[in-house]
Amino acid sequence: MFSGKATKPTFKCYLPPVQTDVRKAIEPSVKKLEPKLLPGEIVVNEVNFVRKCINAEGSQDDLWGKLICTNFKVSFIPQDAPLKQRSQLSHLLFGEHDIPLTCLEQVVTVNDTKGKKKVLGSNKKLKFNPTELILYSKDLRIIRFCFDQAGPESAKKVCLAIAHYSHPADLQLLFGFEYQGRRYHECKGERVKGATPRGGIHTPIFDRPSDWDREIKRTGASEWRVCAINEGYAISSSLPEYAVVPVSLADQDLKNYSVFFLDNRIPLWCWNHPNGSALVRMANICDPLQQRKIEQKIFTAITKSHPQRCDVIKLDLDKFLPNIQDIQAAFVKIRQICVIDAFEESEERWLSSIENSRWIEHVRAFLKFSADVIFHLDGNNISVVLQEEEDRDLNCVVSSLAQLMLDPHYRSIIGFQSLVQKEWVMAGHRFLDRCNHLNKSDKEESPLFMLFLDCVWQMMNQYPAAFEFTEAYLTVLSDSMWIPLFSTFLFNSSKQRAQYFMDFAKNKAIPQGEDHVVYFPPVWNWSQQFSNKDLTLFNNPMYVGKGAACVQNGEVKTFKRTKKTYSSTLRGTPASLRNGVKDSEDTLPRRGSLVSELKSLTPVKDESPSERFYREWFARPVDQHGLLIPLLMPSHMALWKLFFLRWVSEACISGGGPITTYHKLSQLVDEIDMLQSQLRQYKGPSPSTPLSSPCGPPSDQRRMYFKASSHHDPATPPDFLTSTFPFTPRGNLCRRSLQGTPISKFLNGARIWLSTETLANDTV
């Protein structure tokens, strides 16, 4: 006999549900489903009665509506508009169910009845009527549409249209050129009324000598100057028009030397350390017979720019770091593991599969190499020349990471954006080829910028208070690579950008001499994409910026970074030591580094200078506005979950993840801001401080996304918070489910059934 309590069925049916004819139910209101179009955007093709799959487990949550292909995006308009997802970032340029055409990796059509499947390209024909469309996107989404009730010919036409417009034959066919041309003329009146320089963008673009001059002064590089020999791209097609070179090198000498470098790329100055050492990047010298002679002349000039005339060290990145093919292969593998493969089928080997993809290994390799650069610049006080064959890929990653570790300016939002602009955009990184915007050649595709962002996240994960921006900002920045409305990630070089802009301005009747930042802006004007409310998600509540208030001995004081604390960690006495004794506030060991502290007191046999440098640095308290060196043991590296797993419902934790900490800290910081505002109001405004409201600044001017809660609000986080916030997996990752029951599920179900049978018999 069985027990009286019935057990729940453990076997799940995977047969497709019986389809009902929904056409009659939704047909009367189909005409209302009209897309929201941007200026210059047109509908190319559309099909009604389409079902968007929300998850692979069943169709009960699926949405019915219209599928539309425009010259900018694939858009799905649900028949019954669902409630707005509070847990999702709202984009101003496209909707929740939209995806830009440049974001599409693959367009796959399926006919289950005939058992056919085809990947569509620009000129490929489709010989069967599709019953399903699967879109694989470059931001790791998998979106499925079913044509159960749709007209077969209409479904075929919209699939072919999506495939065609996602493979443009030329860069000028991207929607951004049409959109920005229309936008320029529509907004002309507004610009005249309240004109702001460079369209209100505060990030330096480094396309003018003045931007480089400011950077020279900011870093104290007094022995370096702005050079204009490449003006009009007279020397090199891949270099910017203006570059920084040693004062001791004359323009004519640089012109003579340039012919020996690949693509005539003369060495580029990146950054200057306060101790005088410089970070320089350069391409390979083509003529082996002239290599030693040319290098000697270049290195002599760099040595003269150093106050102590210290030596120069050359680091060859091609010898010690993975190449672009290795990086692409690793990214394909980790995407397969995290997104494409069903987690339930690979969970037992999931962690080892992540490790075997070698993605995190490559991230660690770039961080380690960058830390070695830091040792030479900061520890050895010598200039470093980064050499790569073309100086357009690996050098971008390493030079950016080195500066991020050394200079706190680049850990602010504006500073970080200027770093990307300087070391990636103007230095000639091939964004068009590496992002494969035209879907032409997979051989040139490689996610180097994505790898750089992952390296930045690893540092943020270890030093969360040192960065002004959040991981949501980094994720949104990675997504912006696939939006063709901004100039930042569209081109291979400054020259290519200038050529396209010249034709664009002529075709769109834009006056000659107009600033290209105004008529085709970079991505850094985030207000074009997000509301002020959503932009506050970029602000890190833990960040202690220059001039930020802190409490010390019961008094509110302002943090000021002195030049001494920013200087080399091996010179002088640490700021935390006074007469050989640590201050009381520095008595706690940092990051569990008791072992490091003990090692610092004991001489280590056969210790190399670099090991001693790292040991002494890790033994000291972290200066959030000084040098940062990441921990590089494999156990210190982590998977960037918000990027790789944000669409995976199995990894979505309701009310969990880092967002819960972010929520509480944001509320606390907002409450502090409110109290400080009220305190200023109580004391009376100073001549430089405007009078504020007794209740603090208006809600739309506050810098935290989550506002301070009142005493009546519940202490628990909002129910819409999940570990994937501000993104949602709903409808963004729907893999095809196999008909029937997978063997692992069957065996698992059999084990459960046997155990329940045994328990039931035991109760007899």
Interval 180-191: pLDDT, tens: 999 999 887 666
Provide the pLDDT for residue 112: 86
**Which one, of 372, 367, 283, 363, lies nearest residue 326 by Cα?**
363
- Please check whether residues 470 and 393 belong to one and the same domain: yes
Q: What is the mean pLDDT of residues 244-263?
A: 96
| Of 538, 569, 594, the domain-final residue | 538
- Res. 561: pLDDT tops 50: no
What are the b/e assignments for 460-473, b being 16+ CB within 10 Å?
bbbbbebbbbbbbb
- The total of other beta-carbon atoms located within 10 Å of residue 573's CB is 10
- Please check whether residues 395 and 308 belong to one and the same domain: yes
- Please check whether residues 484 and 406 belong to one and the same domain: yes
Cα distances from 332 to residues 358, 633, 634, in angstroms, run: 11, 24, 21
Integer Cα distance of 143 and 567 in angstroms = 51
Q: What is the mean pLDDT of residues 228-253?
A: 97
Report if residue 187 sits inside a domain: no
- Res. 223: pLDDT tops 80: yes
Provide the pLDDT for residue 442: 83
Provide the pLDDT for residue 487: 96
| Of 538, 553, 576, the domain-final residue | 538
Report if residue 474 sits inside a domain: yes
Integer Cα distance of 583 and 575 in angstroms = 9
Integer Cα distance of 518 and 515 in angstroms = 5
Higher-confidence position of 345 and 594: 345
Integer Cα distance of 281 and 405 in angstroms = 17
Interval 506-547: pLDDT, tens: 999 999 889 999 999 999 999 999 999 999 999 999 997 765
pTM: 0.86
Least confident range from 61-70, 125-134, 611-620, 719-728: namely 719-728
DSSP-assigned letter for residue 389: S
Report if residue 631 sits inside a domain: no
Report the sign of the C-alpha dihedral through residues 376, 382, 383, 384, in that order: negative
382 by DSSP, 3-state: which? coil
Task: Report the percent of the chain where pLDDT is more than 70.
Answer: 79
Highest mean pLDDT pick, 265-269, 441-445, 513-517, 714-718: 265-269
Output the six-digit token pair for 17.
Answer: 């549900």
> Which class for 712: exposed (0-12), middle (13-18), buried (19 or more C-beta within 10 A)?
exposed
Query: In sequence order, which residues have a C-beta less than 8 Å from that of residue 380 and are 6 or more positions away?
Result: 313, 609
- Please check whether residues 285 and 381 belong to one and the same domain: yes
Least confident range from 12-21, 58-67, 114-123, 637-646: namely 12-21
Annotate 185-234 with DSSP letters as a single string: HHTHHHHHHT--GGGG--S----SHHHHHHHHHHHT-TTEEEE-TTGGGS
- Please check whether residues 162 and 265 belong to one and the same domain: no
Integer Cα distance of 405 and 625 in angstroms = 10
Point out which residues pair with 551 in neighbouring strands: 556
Integer Cα distance of 171 and 496 in angstroms = 11
- Tell me the pLDDT band of 753, cut-offs 50, 70 and 90: very low
- Tell me the pLDDT band of 114, cut-offs 50, 70 and 90: confident
Query: In sequence order, which residues have a C-beta less than 8 Å from that of residue 636 and are 6 or more positions away?
Result: 462, 630
Interval 298-319: pLDDT, tens: 999 999 999 999 999 999 999 9
- Please check whether residues 222 and 120 belong to one and the same domain: no
Whose tokens are 């306060």? That residue is 274
Integer Cα distance of 477 and 486 in angstroms = 12
- Tell me the pLDDT band of 737, cut-offs 50, 70 and 90: low
Encoded amino acid at 326, one letter = D
Report if residue 677 sits inside a domain: no
- Res. 759: pLDDT tops 50: no
- Please check whether residues 124 and 260 belong to one and the same domain: no
Q: What is the mean pLDDT of residues 368-390?
A: 97
Provide the pLDDT for residue 198: 76
- Res. 568: pLDDT tops 90: no
Total domains present in the chain: 2
Rounded to 5°, the CA angle 394-644-401 comes to 30
Order of strands, sheet of 268-272, starting from the edge strand that comes earlier in the sequence? 268-272, 278-282, 383-387, 312-316
- Please check whether residues 303 and 445 belong to one and the same domain: yes
Q: Where are the alpha helices (DSSP H) in 27-170?
A: 152-165
Higher-confidence position of 347 and 700: 347
Report if residue 200 sits inside a domain: no
Least confident range from 181-190, 320-329, 622-631: namely 181-190
| Of 167, 200, 228, the domain-final residue | 167
Query: For residue 356, what are the domain limits?
Result: 209-538
Integer Cα distance of 395 and 7 in angstroms = 62
- Please check whether residues 458 and 367 belong to one and the same domain: yes
Encoded amino acid at 91, one letter = H
Report if residue 159 sits inside a domain: yes
Provide the pLDDT for residue 113: 85
Encoded amino acid at 34, one letter = E
Least confident range from 180-184, 274-278, 471-475, 738-742: namely 738-742
DSSP-assigned letter for residue 75: E
Point out which residues pair with 261 in neighbouring strands: 285
**Residue 726 preceded by cis peptide, ω within 30:** yes
Whose tokens are 């907004």? That residue is 187
Output the six-digit token pair for 113.
Answer: 């009845």
Least confident range from 154-158, 194-198, 638-642, 666-670: namely 194-198
Q: What is the mean pLDDT of residues 586-606?
A: 46
- Please check whether residues 418 and 291 belong to one and the same domain: yes
Q: Mutual orientation of helices 288-304 and 251-258 as an angle, nearest 10°?
A: 150
Report if residue 450 sits inside a domain: yes
Least confident range from 380-384, 426-430, 472-476, 707-711: namely 707-711
Whose tokens are 């100073």? That residue is 686
Could you tell me the CATH number of the domain that includes residue 63? 2.30.29.30
Q: Are strands 383-387 and 312-316 parallel, antiparallel or unpaired?
A: parallel
**Which one, of 10, 150, 12, 8, lies nearest residue 738 by Cα?**
12
- Res. 625: pLDDT tops 80: yes
Task: Report the percent of the chain where pLDDT is more than 90.
Answer: 68
- Please check whether residues 156 and 239 belong to one and the same domain: no
Report if residue 685 sits inside a domain: no
Interval 632-665: pLDDT, tens: 999 999 999 999 999 999 899 998 899 999 999 9
- Please check whether residues 149 and 216 belong to one and the same domain: no
- Res. 16: pLDDT tops 60: no
Output the six-digit token pair for 646.
Answer: 């944000």
Q: Are strands 268-272 and 581-582 parallel, antiparallel or unpaired?
A: unpaired
**Which one, of 354, 320, 359, lies nearest residue 447 by Cα?**
359
Provide the pLDDT for residue 632: 95
Least confident range from 570-579, 613-622, 700-709: namely 570-579
